[in-house]
Amino acid sequence: MSAVDNKTINSIFEKLDEDFEEVKSWRRYMHQYPELSFQEEKTANYIEEKLKSFGLDVQRNIGGHGLISVVEGKQPGKKIALRADFDALPIEDEKETPYKSTKPGVMHACGHDGHTAALLGVAKVVSQYKDNLKGSIVFVFQPAEETPPGGAKYMIEDGILEDVDYVFGAHLASDIPIGKVGVGEGYQMAAVDKFAIHLKGNGGHGARPHQTTDSLVIGTSVVEALQKIVSRQIDPLQSAVVTIGVFQAGNAFNVIPDTARIEGTVRTFDPAVRDKVEKEIRSIIEGITSAFHATYELDYLRGYPALFNHKAETDVARDLFKETFEDENVVEFAPTMGAEDFSYFLEAKPGTYFRVGSKNDDEATHFPHHHPRFDIDERALVNIEKAFATIINHYLL
């Protein structure tokens, strides 16, 4: 960065620090009034209201309740997209805080309220420097990250990335200390698939099993066989998970049930492994039901693809963050079998997705994402802002 660039980014950082209490209040408001995926109309209204108060134009109803605001520089240059998500989860908020969710059974338990507040903060401050920009910024506010098929896919299909050069996203991380940022190239989050198996046998009296086709016993054979896919069909140097979360059959101790239902999830990184696991699941169900003279229906839903961080943009972000947060505070993004629909953005355009530490010494900030007592050290909001501002400074200032 040149001396002029340093002066500009330092001025931006100062304004972000000055606005911390305001950004924190935005996050707390959204935390109190969460909305589930595909239902985020009031949250979208709130985001639009804030963007317009900054003097920015807003495009609404993109891919559902999604919004974008484009800040155009006075000079030509690159176009980058920065994304935040804003849906909540069907979880009861068990925290005792002034900003606890007011909606029973709905909670921001993953930090999306923080992502949105931080991106609003960046939009407010950086838009004041648009005369200095060499290029433009697309501020992307995305709904429905938590529920496949997700909001990212629909927003991209509506064309928001058509002329974008690079795309970046951030996520709060309750497993990383405040002040640290996690960066990593390659596959960082898994593809997520969901399956539901409906087994149809022939029920009857528990004392006469020979006159039945026992869907429960057949189901146990299916579950056991599915657990051997990873250990016996997948290269041990590859990563895959097959997890059964639902097994329902019967409702009386002396009745052999007609039907059984099995539901589970598959997590993979490599597309070829993803294909193989699905093929093996289909083969196992077909073989076992045929052997036991039962029938079945399989509903197999392919969810988000694996999230792949591009090397060049990840290297740039890592180097930039070492300047902003210091070398020792930039840590490796440990790959996880969790999923994230920002993967669609990275399939469409080069970029990277990074994690921003949000825990401190207070145990209230240590709960994992999707926990009913999830909370953050709100100073992490400024760190998200500064990370995004650092990226803007590199590409556009």
In the prediction, which pLDDT does 334 show?
A: 86
> Where in the chain do CATH 3.40.630.10 domains reside?
3-189+306-396
In the prediction, which pLDDT does 1 show?
A: 37
pLDDT tens, residue order, the chain (397 aa): 333 458 899 999 999 999 999 999 999 999 999 999 999 999 999 999 999 999 999 999 999 999 999 999 999 999 999 999 999 999 999 999 999 999 999 999 999 999 999 999 999 999 999 999 999 999 999 999 999 999 999 999 999 999 999 999 999 999 999 999 999 999 999 999 999 999 999 999 999 999 999 999 999 999 999 999 999 999 999 999 999 999 999 999 999 999 999 999 999 999 999 999 999 999 999 999 999 999 999 999 999 999 999 999 999 999 999 999 999 999 999 899 999 999 999 999 999 999 999 999 999 999 999 999 999 999 999 999 999 999 999 999 8
Fold of the domain spanning 191-302: Alpha-Beta Plaits (3.30.70)
In the prediction, which pLDDT does 7 show?
A: 86
Tell me the whole-structure pTM to 2 decimals: 0.94
- 87 a catalytic residue: yes
What homologous superfamily is domain 3-189+306-396 in, according to CATH?
Zn peptidases (3.40.630.10)
Do residues 267 and 219 make contact, with C-beta atoms less than 8 angstroms apart? no
User: How many Cα atoms sit within 13 Å of 358 on the Cβ side?
Assistant: 28
- Among residues 145, 214, 341, 375, the one annotated as catalytic is 145
Residue type, 44: A
Alpha carbons 242 and 226: distance in angstroms, whole number? 7
SS3 338: coil
| Helical segments of the chain, H only | 3-18, 20-32, 41-53, 112-126, 151-157, 215-226, 228-233, 271-291, 311-325, 342-348, 380-396
- Among residues 87, 113, 280, 375, the one annotated as catalytic is 87
Phi, psi of 254 (to 5 degrees): -115, 20
In the prediction, which pLDDT does 5 show?
A: 56
What crossing angle do the helices spanning 215-226 and 271-291 adopt, rounded to 10°? 150
